[in-house]
A and B are shown apart, each in its own frame.
Chain A
Amino acid sequence: MTDKDQTIVTAGGHGRFPWSHVIGYIFSLVLTLVALLMVINHVASGGMLLFVILLLATIQIFIQLFFFMHITEKHGPAYHIITLAVALFFTFAIIAGSLWIMTFTQLSS
């Protein structure tokens, strides 16, 4: 042990048990399982089912961000949250835009 270790101050000793992590984990397991079972038992028709499982996946993003990635922690303004929001927006634009543009080939092939 170096003496550097002596100077450490951590975020208090409050965390005896990582409740939020366990809850996040349970959530992610349940959401995954629900999606899997819905597809295996094809509980709904194609479009509806697709919508529901995509929704479940989207919820999982937020579970990772809030329960594991500590997204609310920041040092100064929350630039990373803004950037991620913009990135999500562009992600949507790229995928939806490509599908919209490229459907012409589906018609022609």
Chain B
Amino acid sequence: MGGVKQFLSHFFVTGPFEIGGDVSIGLVSLAILFVLTRYKLWGWLWRNWLTSVDHKKIGIMYMLAALLMLFRGGVDALMIRTQLALPNSQFLGAEHYDQIFTTHGTIMILFMAMPFIFAMMNIVVPLQLGARDVAFPYLNAISFWLFFFGAMLLNISFVIGGSPDAGWVNYPPLAELQFSPGPGDNFYLLSILISGIGSVATGINFLVTILKMRAPGMSLMKMPMFSWAVFATCIDIIFAFPALTIALGLEFADRILGAHFFTLNGGGNPMMYVNLFWMWGHPEVYIVILPAFGIYSEVVATFSRKRLFGYTAMVTSLLLIAIASYFVWLHHFFTMGAGADVNTFFAIASMFIAIPTGVKIFNWLFTMFRGRIRMTIPMMWVIAFIPNFVIGGSTGVMLAAAPADYQYHNSYFLVAHFHQVLIGGVVYGMLAGMYYWWPKMFGFILEERFAKWGFWLFNIGFYVCFMPQYPLGLMGMTRRMYTYPAGLGWSSLNMISTVGAFVMGIGFIFIVLNIVSSIRHPVKDTTGDPWDARTLEWSLPSPAPHYNFARIPVIDSRDQWWEMKQKGMTKPDDSTPLAPIHMPKNSGKPFIMGVLFFIAGFGFVFNWYVLAGLGLLGVVITLFARSFDYDTDYYIPVDEVKHSEAAFGRS
């Protein structure tokens, strides 16, 4: 009996925040269960969402998950800032603080930024290319569910077993079993390993989609810029994620098999982990920023009513960034003390990336130059992004100077820099994309009043929060510092920064309010083209029918839809006869596979190898079951297509 009690007290985390977490998670789950049962929505949920292989629905699920994770990571951020607002603060314990900055970083990069870019890729790319789905719709569903259950595995650590606390980079030797006993660190490793499989699959999937599924006539150089950006991203994904898998896999082997890859004894070398981690870590930065660059390009052209300036230069710079991002990884550990030759090479390579990035900034500015600019919400996020990214980029070049980096390394200067590029670059981009493509996803436009409040609060909050962190870093405040004494001159800057963080939080609440109020009073998008935009997705009704294109369009120009409108067309050519449409069937297996991976991961976290083995066996059985399943697709008959097109006022 005592054993059980002791087990339970280790298994469930107890503490005021965790019990609060337990209660709120419990209440929300009960509420969801109640609503689903009360309104008999279980079947609807299963048939329309959980088993869906439709790229648009998978994209929407990615986006909801990303917003949820943005909330979770944001709450972590506010707790960090609350702790740091005053000197000698006792708001959080040191260990608790470590857990919170670890989960904040992990969630924001891997479970917020990644699903948000996957959301945009899924929703937009097939529509822009004139395709009916991605190349491998079933694999796409697997990717989503692996991401989802990976994210759940990490989040559950808050209430069961304890959160990881070795930083989002999880460096050894701290993350080794000797210094981080207990399941927390295993949660980190397993959740990322599981969702990482999904990310690689997405990379392969979209690479094949972009290369092979473009509508006839769309040569690569006629492809919309967002699709180009996704192409560059996918190159980075498939060549960078294996390094993460290996880094985390080897660390996991250290922890469960007693291997000596990164340990201090037995000949291990902790710096090899750092080397492998950043071999993924730096391309990862570009994996999340390049799709945002693509979104900026689309939005800026649409709302300036001009062709994107310097298309070829944009494509070249995207590809240059994608390739060059593999040759800069050492700049994350200049201070390791590799030779001067090594540091010099990586410093120059890092600075080089500023060139293609600068080219892109100028191209966006020239697109706006003499354009008829409409200040819509997506456009506001783009315009706010530019100064933000210029500052972030400049501090990046400062950090790239190896000798100076010895001063900046792991200080708040660095913290301010990467938040500036990751929030000002990625989050702004994703929000711009969300506002821009929202009508295409749901058939109504997000209203502007709350959206503007959200925009201004978030933006002002951003500068108030992060600008003070640059001087704080120069004054010697280091990253991950739990508290600091009074009298160092840091107190007022820290307080200002915390106020800024809360203003950003209020901004986020307005964005949520904006979505809620738009759902309650929707402004319907009846034309399918609310922004008078340029690319193919806007030639479809909003939301797009599940087969996307009743007839695959033939492309002869970059801004195909814009050119068609210039010729006086208001809808795509419908003179050719319809044909039956080949579609993939829904399947429950991706969801089941996600659950089984979750079970296996959970087993490994607690070293319950029987459970882990059963989970993995289940995964293998699901794989073979799929291989033997030949009933995977169907045809939509012409009558049904006609009927559904007529409902959109088309034929």
Contacts and interface: CB of A to CB of B under 8 A. Distances in A.
Decide whether A and B are members of one complex: yes
A90 B271 contact: no
B339 interface: yes
Interface in B230-278: 235, 239, 243, 269, 271-272, 275-276
Contacts of B329: 97
Between A90, A98, A100, the greatest number of chain B beta carbons within 10 A of the residue's beta carbon is seen for: A90
Contacts of B579: none
Interface in A70-109: 76-77, 79, 86-87, 90, 93-94, 97-98, 100-105
Nearest to B279: A94
Contact of B235 (A76, A86, A98): A86
A90 B239 contact: yes
Interface string B516-555: 0000000000000000000000000000000000000000
Contact of A100 (B243, B272, B276, B342): B342
B275 A104 contact: no
Contacts of A98: 272, 275-276, 279
A94 to B, nearest CB: 6
B295 interface: no
Interface stretch (B185-193, B330-338, B455-463): B330-338
B327 A101 contact: no
A105 B275 contact: no
B168 interface: no
B176 to A, nearest CB: 17
Given A93-B326, A94-B279, A102-B271, A86 B239 contact: yes
B211 interface: yes
B326 A104 contact: no
B643 interface: no
B330 A101 contact: yes
Contact of A104 (B211, B243, B279, B338): B338
B642 interface: no
A102 B276 CA distance: 11
A80 B449 CA distance: 49
B10 interface: no
Contacts of A87: 239
B342 A101 contact: yes
B567 to A, nearest CB: 30
Interface in B65-99: none
How big is the B interface, by class? 20 to 34
Between A93, A97, A100, the greatest number of chain B beta carbons within 10 A of the residue's beta carbon is seen for: A97
A90 B212 CA distance: 24
B212 A105 contact: no
Nearest to B338: A104
Contacts of A97: 279, 327, 329
A103 B330 CA distance: 13
Given A93-B326, A94-B279, A102 B211 contact: no
Interface residues of A, number: 16
Given A86-B239, A87-B239, A98-B275, A104 B337 contact: yes
A101 B211 contact: no
Interface string B327-358: 10110000011110010000000000000000
B239 A102 contact: no
Interface string B316-330: 000000000011011
A102 B326 contact: no
A104 B239 contact: no
Between A94, A103, A104, the greatest number of chain B beta carbons within 10 A of the residue's beta carbon is seen for: A94
Nearest to A106: B269
A98 B339 CA distance: 13
Contact of B271 (A76, A86, A94, A105): A105
A77 B212 CA distance: 9
A104 B212 CA distance: 45
A102 B279 CA distance: 13
A102 B269 contact: yes
B269 A93 contact: no
A101 B339 CA distance: 8
Nearest to B337: A104
A97 B349 CA distance: 13
Contact of B243 (A79, A94, A102): A94
Contacts of A105: 269, 271
Given A86-B235, A100-B342, A104-B337, A93 B327 contact: yes
A33 to B, nearest CB: 32
Interface in B353-381: none
A87 B326 CA distance: 12
Contact of B275 (A86, A93, A102): A102
A86 to B, nearest CB: 7
Contacts of B327: 93, 97
A86 B337 CA distance: 30
Given A76-B212, A90-B326, A101 B239 contact: no
B501 to A, nearest CB: 36
Contacts of B271: 102, 105
29 contacts: A76-B211, A76-B212, A79-B211, A86-B235, A86-B239, A87-B239, A93-B326, A94-B243, A94-B279, A97-B327, A97-B329, A98-B272, A98-B275, A98-B276, A98-B279, A100-B342, A101-B342, A102-B271, A102-B272, A102-B275, A102-B338, A103-B338, A103-B339, A104-B337, A104-B338, A104-B339, A104-B342, A105-B269, A105-B271
Query: Lowest 8 A-B CB distances belong to which pairs?
Result: A104-B338, A79-B211, A90-B239, A101-B338, A101-B342, A98-B275, A101-B330, A105-B269
Given A101-B330, A102-B269, 17 more contacts: A76-B211, A76-B212, A79-B211, A86-B235, A87-B239, A90-B326, A97-B327, A98-B272, A100-B342, A101-B338, A101-B342, A102-B272, A102-B275, A102-B338, A103-B338, A105-B269, A105-B271
